[in-house]
């Protein structure tokens, strides 16, 4: 697959006749989700790339930190 074979506007991939077993070109439709993901990836890359990988525990730790800053007791924070 080459990017030149992809038509994002038409949401299709044209497989050239040289690349198919039957020797005939084929047009393969892309799902709207695939086109949307490509647009999102392009946007995120333009914004500086994807954030570092994170885990659910990272969110829990961040919430706990903010709860302590707001004055919530450590006992209650520990229950979260």
Average pLDDT, consecutive stretches of 10 residues, N- to C-terminus, the chain (80 residues): 85 87 89 87 86 85 95 92
Q: Is there a contact between 5 and 16 (Cβ–Cβ < 8 Å)? A: yes
Q: Is 59 helix (H, G, I), strand (E, B) or coil?
A: helix
**Is residue 36 within a helix (H) or strand (E), and if so which, with residue range?**
helix 32-46
- The residue whose two tokens read 């961040």 is 62
The SS3 of residue 76 is helix
How many residues are listed for the chain in this entry? 80
The pLDDT assigned to 2 comes to 84
Cα separations in angstroms, 24 against 7, 12, 71: 18, 16, 69
Are 10 and 29 in contact, with CB atoms under 8 Å apart?
Answer: no
- Whether the model pTM is above 0.85: no
Q: Mean pLDDT of all residues in the chain?
A: 88
């Amino acid at each position: 697959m080459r990017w030149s074979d992809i038509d994002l506007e038409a949401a299709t991939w044209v497989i050239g006749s040289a690349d198919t077993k039957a020797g005939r070109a084929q047009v393969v439709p892309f799902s709207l989700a695939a086109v949307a993901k490509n647009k999102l990836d392009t946007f995120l890359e333009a914004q500086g790339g994807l954030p570092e990988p994170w885990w659910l525990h990272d969110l829990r730790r961040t919430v706990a930190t903010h709860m302590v800053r707001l004055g919530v007791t450590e006992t209650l924070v520990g229950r979260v």
